[in-house]
Amino acid sequence: MTNEQIEIFMQEILEAIKEASNKSQEQFNKIEQDINDLRKDMNKRLDYHETWLKQIEKNMASKSQVNSLLGILIRKNIISNYEASHVTQSA
């Protein structure tokens, strides 16, 4: 092999390495973008659930409200003390 042939061969090898490196970089960039897209989607989902839970908590009755309601229901003979105690014990 002559020096010129060796030089051409080395250039071909370097081009092949450069091409493989570029393909690998493109794959890494795509994976990175996919991960970022997934992170954004997960954040949107978590934000949705957080908002949903806050709305539920906002609309929930407090313990004192439940106890007041139970007291009213007992006085009006709608439920018994026994039934009211089960409600307070299960909470």
Count the domains in the chain: 2
Are 51 and 65 found together in one domain? no
Q: What is the pLDDT of residues 36-59, one digit of tens each?
A: 999 999 999 999 999 999 999 999
**pLDDT band for position 91 (50/70/90)?**
low
- The per-residue pLDDT for range 78-90, each reduced to its tens digit, is 999 999 999 888 7
In terms of domains, do 50 and 16 share one?
yes
Q: Which domain holds residue 72?
A: 61-91
Of the candidates 67, 71, 72, the one whose C-alpha atom is nearest the C-alpha of residue 89 is: 67
Same domain? 8 vs 44: yes
- Dig out the tokens for 57 from the structure: 């908590």
Local structure of residue 78 (DSSP, 8 states): S
| Structure token pair of residue 53 | 């839970």
pLDDT, tens only, 54-73: 999 999 988 899 999 999 99
68 and 56 in a single domain? The answer is no
Judge whether 84 and 70 are in contact, CB under 8 Å.
Answer: yes
CA-nearest of 57, 55, 61 to 87 is 61
pLDDT at residue 89, as a whole number? 85
- Are 51 and 17 part of one and the same domain? yes
Same domain, 23 and 50: yes
The phi and psi torsions of 38 (rounded to 5 degrees) equal -65, -40
32 and 50 fall within a common domain:
yes
